[in-house]
Amino acid sequence: MKRLLHLIQTSLVPAGVMLPVMVNGCEFRTVEVAGKMVTVCQVDVGQEHVILFHRDDTGAPFKRFDRINDWLNPRGERLVFAMNAGMYHGDFSPVGLFVANGKELAPLNLADGYGNFFMKPNGVFAITDKGARIIESSEYSKLREREKVLLATQSGPLLLRGGKIHPAFNAESKSRLRRNGVGLPSGGIAIFAISDEPVTFFEFATLFRDKLHCPDALFLDGTVSSLYAAPLKRNDFRMELGPMIGVVEKVMSP
């Protein structure tokens, strides 16, 4: 499988902006929101092998991107892209729904509580046999009835729902953190984004709405937000992680 890795720098490109880097069905680029740079990975979910990771064959949490690669390598595979994919408890178990390889490993969480996860409406990012979906958490049972869920992770809050920004977000907020999330411009494409500089919730939501043209988007986490991007030679480690999502490719034999 050949890769196309073209990074073209020209005087027309603003400082700090990266033109698209293509690897099969993944496109990496940077965009700007409120004067802050954000790295995005656009994934063709029909073409790419997207996996949710949490524990290895022994039941131990992966915690780091390197450990996922160590687990994949004997299988003749490697990561192209990965990102933390939802909030987790102190034992690294998911706070909400977690479905991997079609199996539900943690149940849907519709409880009320404190913190970003419980900022209603929260939501679920899923890939089904019909494509990618971002839905409000209480709608998941109906989705499961209509479509075969291949993977799903629950987080919160929803950044966008039907093009509308979460009602709790304040355009004048001064609370800025490094944040990551996922949005859907269509059922066949998922766009994962991580801010390279601290941003507010409102700014992050407008990124997905105005720059990435996603009517629906879900916040995955903040502060711990981390990215693995092989073509960018990027392998973040800020702290150990719970659920992670990644795109995997086969390694070519010599």
**How much is the average pLDDT of 96-114?**
97
User: Three-class SS string for the chain?
Assistant: CCCCCCCCCCCCCCCCCCCCEEECCEEEEEEEECCEEEEEEEEECCCCEEEEECECCCCCECCCHHHHHHHHHHHCEEEEEEEECCCECCCCCECCCEEECCEEEECCCCCCCCCHHHCCCCEEEEEECCEEEEEEHHHHHHHHHHCCEEEEEEECCEEEECCEECCCCCCCCCCCECEEEEEEEECCEEEEEEECCCECHHHHHHHHHHHCCCCEEEEEEECCCCEEEHHHCEECCCCCCCCEEEEEEECCCC
Residue 19 has pLDDT above 90, yes or no: no
Domain assignments of the chain as residue spans, ordered by start: 21-250
Q: What mean pLDDT value characterizes the chain?
A: 92
Predicted structure pTM score: 0.92
Looking at residue 40, what is its pLDDT?
Answer: 98
The tens digit of pLDDT for each residue in 233-242 reads: 999 999 999 9
Cα separation of 91 and 83, whole Å?
19
Residue 9 has pLDDT above 90, yes or no: no
Residue 5 has pLDDT above 90, yes or no: no
Looking at residue 253, what is its pLDDT?
Answer: 59
**How much is the average pLDDT of 122-149?**
97
More confident residue, 25 or 204: 204
Cα separation of 197 and 152, whole Å?
27
